[in-house]
Structure 1
Amino acid sequence: MDKVTQERISKLHPSVRSEVKKIIEQIDKALTGRAKVRISQGLRTFKEQDDLFAIGRTKPGKKVTQAKSGQSIHNYGFAVDIVLIIDGKTASWDTKADWDGDKVADWMECVAIFRANGWEWGGDWETFKDMPHFEKKGFKWRVLATKKRDKENYVIL
């Protein structure tokens, strides 16, 4: 697990940090070839969410999210986005490549491991598929938005 991923895990909601670390370790063990998984996004501030929401609306580019600030599970630390790092240097979001030659796309190996650990994949969504996105099942932003926060600003479950 690389330092970027470790740092991003450390900022997730405390209740899922060890679980995400375990998932990444399982993926690292499963991917035996040139690809390694990296968390490209974890906890996202409300400002960061608003900036992303503006893309394709008030800023140039293709829309990257349907969620305004407070409406993303990222805003509460219960979601991650991933990327595969090939040969330690090239980012890939290729969902079909089999970098380890085991006849299963490396991306789909990641999906299977997240699913087995109780996480939902954005690639399964009917509208606005979000292939890099995984979120812990059972958490809804409308409920999280009503929760009180602790001294570190994480919602209290």
Structure 2
Amino acid sequence: MDKVTKERISLLHPSVRAEVTKIIEQCDKALTGRAKIRITQGLRTFQEQDQLYTIGRSKPGKKVTNAKAGQSIHNYGLAVDIALIIDGKTASWDTKADWDGDKKSDWMECVAIFQANGWDWGGNWETFKDMPHFEKKGYKWRVLINKKRDKENYVML
């Protein structure tokens, strides 16, 4: 597991840090070739969320999210976005590539591991497919936004 991924895990909600670490380790073990998993996004502040929301609306570019501040599970540290890092340097979001030659898409191997550990994949969403996105099952922003926060500002689950 690379340093960037470890740092991003350390900012996730405390209740999922060990679980995400285990999932990433399982993915890296399954990917026996040139690809390794990297968390590209974990906890996202409300301000960061609002900045992303403006892309494709008041800022140029293609829309990257339909969620305003508080409406993303990222805002609570209960979601991650991933990429595959090829040969330790190039990021890939190719969902079909088989970098380890085992006749299975490396991306889909990771999807299966996340799902086996109780995480939902944004690639299964009906209206706004978010292929790099995984979130812990059972949490909805409409509930989380009103929860009390602990001394480190994480919602109390």
Which residue number in structure 2 is paired with residue 113 of structure 1? 113
Q: Which runs of 5 or more structure 1 residues have no equivalent in the other structure?
A: none
For residue 61 of structure 1, give the secondary structure of its aligned residue in structure 2: coil
1:11 matched to 2:11? The reply is yes
**Distance across 1 between alignment mates of 2:117 and 2:17:** 13
| Aligned partner letter, 1:50 | D
Number of aligned residues = 157
Can you list the C-alpha shifts for 1:8-67, whole angstroms capped at 9, x where unaligned? 000000000000000000001000000000000000000000000000000000000000
Percent same amino acid among aligned pairs? Answer: 84
- TM-score in terms of structure 2 length: 1.00
Alignment of 1:1-157 (within 5 A): 1-157=1-157
For residue 80 of structure 2, give the secondary structure of its aligned residue in structure 1: strand
Q: Which runs of 5 or more structure 2 residues have no equivalent in the other structure?
A: none
- TM-score in terms of structure 1 length: 1.00
Aligned-residue RMSD, C-alpha: 0.3
Q: Runs in 1 of length 4+ with deviation above 4 angstroms? A: none
Deviation at 1:72, TM superposition (A): 0.1
| Aligned partner letter, 1:6 | K
Deviation at 1:153, TM superposition (A): 0.4
Can you list the C-alpha shifts for 1:110-155, whole angstroms capped at 9, x where unaligned? 1000000000000000001000000000000000001000110000
**Distance across 2 between alignment mates of 1:93 and 1:105:** 11
**Distance across 2 between alignment mates of 1:43 and 1:30:** 25
